[in-house]
Amino acid sequence: MSAPRLFEDRIAVLAMAALCFITLANVLIRYFTDESIAWTEEISGVLMFVMTLLAASSAFARERHIRIETIAEGGSDERRRRLARFAAIGVMVMFLILAVLGMRMAWDEFRYEESSPGIGLPKWWYSIWLPVLALVIAARAAVLVRRHAPQR
Amino acid sequence: MIAIALFAVFIVLMLAGVPIGVSLGLGALIAIAAANLDVQFFGLLAAPQNFYASLTKYPLLALPMFVLVGSIFDRSGVAERMVRFAIALVGRGSGMLPLVAILVAMVLGGISGSGPANAAAVGGVMIAAMARAGYPPAFSASVVGAAAATDILIPPSIAFIVYSVLVPGASVPALFAAGMIPGVLAGLALMVAAVWLSRARGLGKTEANEPRPPFWASLREASWGLAAPVLILGGMRAGWFTPTEAAVVAVFYGLFVGMVIHRSIGWRDLYGIFQEAAELSAVILMVVALASIFAYSVNTLGIVDPLTKAVVASGMGEYGVLAALILILIVVGMFLDGVSIFLIFIPLVLPIVQAFKWDPVWFGVVMTLLVAVGQFTPPMAVNLMVSCRIAHVRMEETVPWVLWLVVAMLLATIAVIAWPELALWLPRSLGY
């Protein structure tokens, strides 16, 4: 596939592997002790969230997300470049908005000292990753916006 | 008014080539803000909440895990051994290799959950073999693309996992069981069409001259792969593990078979396999997460209620509405991928399903059948794209072949619509 250049890939791969081991451990422990570890569901959910945003970020950087290509890949080079730039701007705007709103959400959870339902950890420990990783995606999109800029 | 703006923004962005998830998200953000101009943050705080909640849902973890299973089994060397065994089973002759391709795709469908991964695994082995036996590459690509579409019906299936997350009252085990008979039926329909096409057009005449592999030796070779669906489906049925856990067990089993038994995966390949699976799942899950904002806006803007009432009162009757829905889904399925279709349409269609008291499990199977047909109907056909790339043909060249297969699978779909018991009997008798 592609060269392992992006730091997002490395962390996403680690998260994926961790998800496998946690789930397998859960099966084995339940098999041997008839008890299931309830907190793994919460950790797995957050790991899946982090993995998705990281791997999505590298997929945005490589422009591999699902989209309709019929119009965007047709026509002159100039039109293709403009539409690619437009798409990158769309991604950047979406995730900048999510970063701001996500920051606000995490801030509220911090202020009101909300704790997670499973383990009882502060909720903002999890949700803070939404604005952080949304900013990473917005930065990847910004690189694309520059790459597809009109050449002088 | 706001509702029209929501869909207009979404459709324009999507046609301009903005990723589908982002198109859905931006359309939803504008609609939510326009409806809440006097509220703090324009009511947009719901956006990160829905985004976050949809990606941390534990049952959804089955999706990336089954994607990973697909990536592993794609390289584990089980596909070629299954092919050899299937040839030993059915013999040689015109139309037999296409039959083998469909058979192997169906068994692999019992391991992996996504169509394109299946098309890559089966196509990687079958397309070259079919070319040697004299089948035209465009025909081979069509057969592999169509055969791989049975994957999302035969459990495990990523489409069913997404549907179950969206639809209350349709559990993953019930959907998995419900997809079994329709999936086999669709596979049989494709076999009949593929063999008939081969015989009628005189394809693969030289196939009869090729050697037939020895039965017992090839069965022994294929047994590691053949045991995988038994482990996954049997383990879920016996209550040993949940769907997510079944996927993880299959991950380790696949790695064991690939690294120790068949030795087709080395330590160095692991990073690539995990990275590919993480990226493929993220591409799907990103649409899931952003579509949750879209679903929130559709539900809070009050579009669905009037729409449902209008449809129910339209005088088309239950079957008229169903026929209209199916036509819409077939057309949309030609341009959009399956998961996106589910995420866009289910918030709109679910109230109609409830109004007519259709069984949500049955409706999920019908929708998945239509999505499966869309996976190999040009121009936007994810499976066919994979198999055409392997066969080095352009998608246009497959049209004279693939349309017959589309018709065959649509006939199977009509059967499931006409006799809902085809889908509902198995989950009921298993007690889901």
Can you give the pLDDT at residue B239? 82
CB contact under 8 A, B283 and A59: yes
CB contact under 8 A, B278 and A12: yes
pTM of this prediction? 0.91
Can you give the pLDDT at residue A36? 66
Asked if B317 and B268 touch (Cβ cutoff 8 Å), the reply is no
Can you give the pLDDT at residue A152? 63
Give the model confidence (pLDDT) of B51-62 as tens digits.
999 999 888 999
Q: Which residue did the predictor score with more confidence, B187 or B335? A: B187
CB contact under 8 A, A72 and B286: no
pLDDT at B323 over 50: yes
Can you give the pLDDT at residue B38? 84
pLDDT at B169 over 90: no
User: Which amino acid appears at position B274 of this protein?
Assistant: F
CB contact under 8 A, A68 and B17: yes
Asked if B100 and B126 touch (Cβ cutoff 8 Å), the reply is yes
pLDDT at A1 over 60: no
Can you give the pLDDT at residue B378? 86
Give Rg (Cα) of chain B. 22
Can you give the pLDDT at residue B31? 92
Q: Give the CA diameter of chain B.
A: 78
Asked if B81 and B221 touch (Cβ cutoff 8 Å), the reply is yes
Alpha carbons B21 and B340: distance in angstroms, whole number: 8
pLDDT at B364 over 70: yes
Share of residues in chain A with pLDDT > 90 (%): 59
Asked if B121 and B73 touch (Cβ cutoff 8 Å), the reply is yes
Interface with chain B: mutation pick from A1, A19, A28, A67, highest number of B CBs within 10 Å: A67
Alpha carbons B286 and A66: distance in angstroms, whole number: 9
Interface with chain B: mutation pick from A101, A128, A133, A135, highest number of B CBs within 10 Å: A101
N- to C-terminal Cα separation, chain B: 43
Can you give the pLDDT at residue A128? 94
Lowest mean pLDDT among A141-145, B143-147, B278-282, B376-380: B376-380
pLDDT at B372 over 80: yes
- Mean pLDDT, residues B251-269 taken together: 94
Q: For residue A122, give the 3-state DSSP assignment.
A: strand
Residues of chain A in contact with residue B274, where contact means CB-CB under 8 angstroms, are 13, 16-17
Give the model confidence (pLDDT) of B106-135 as tens digits.
999 988 888 888 999 999 999 999 998 989
- Mean pLDDT, residues B25-33 taken together: 94
Q: What is the dihedral sign for C-alpha B80, B81, B84, B86? A: negative
Confidence check on the interface: ipTM exceeds 0.85, yes or no: yes
Share of residues in chain B with pLDDT > 70 (%): 100
- Mean pLDDT, residues B299-328 taken together: 87
pLDDT at A61 over 50: yes
pLDDT at B253 over 70: yes
Can you give the pLDDT at residue A132? 96
Q: For residue B85, give the 3-state DSSP assignment.
A: helix
Residue with tokens 């999936």: B183
